[in-house]
Amino acid sequence: MRHRIEISTDSRETLIDITRQVEQYTQTSGIKNGLVALYAQGATSALMIQENWDDSVQTDVVNLLRKLIPQGVWLHDKQDGNGDAHLKAGLVGPSETIPIIEEKLGLSQWQNIFFCEFDGPRRSRSIICTFIQSQ
């Protein structure tokens, strides 16, 4: 079973919580125990499981990546000015796999799923959710 989450982003670099959307698809999947594999389509986006207590951790992630991978100094910037976005997306990675346990996501109390935008704003970004049932 596969579903697509469509979102839009409103800034160049941001983390967007998509946990509720994934939970909704998990509840309707009919899978009691299994996995959900999430994949961010796009070479300048990624997925991350991170603390959900407040926005400080998400802001810290964006600020750290800005310091590690600054904008405007990469060879790819000569093409379209987003070399840093490609490197950030590659470092974080495009996918996450989460267990489904008794019809619920196997996240801890303080974990949420975040879509990472590194080259926004974008009208449309897609995250593919593939559900796999355990035997």
Q: What is the reported pTM?
A: 0.96
Domain ranges of the chain: 2-133
80 CB-near residues (< 8 Å, 6+ apart): none
Mean of pLDDT over the chain: 97
Q: Express each pLDDT in 9-45 by its tens digit.
A: 999 999 999 999 999 999 999 999 999 999 999 999 9
Instruction: Provide CATH code, domain 2-133.
Output: 2.60.120.460
Cα 122 to Cα 13, 44, 73, 108, 118: the distances in Å are 11, 11, 23, 30, 10
Amino acid at 6: E
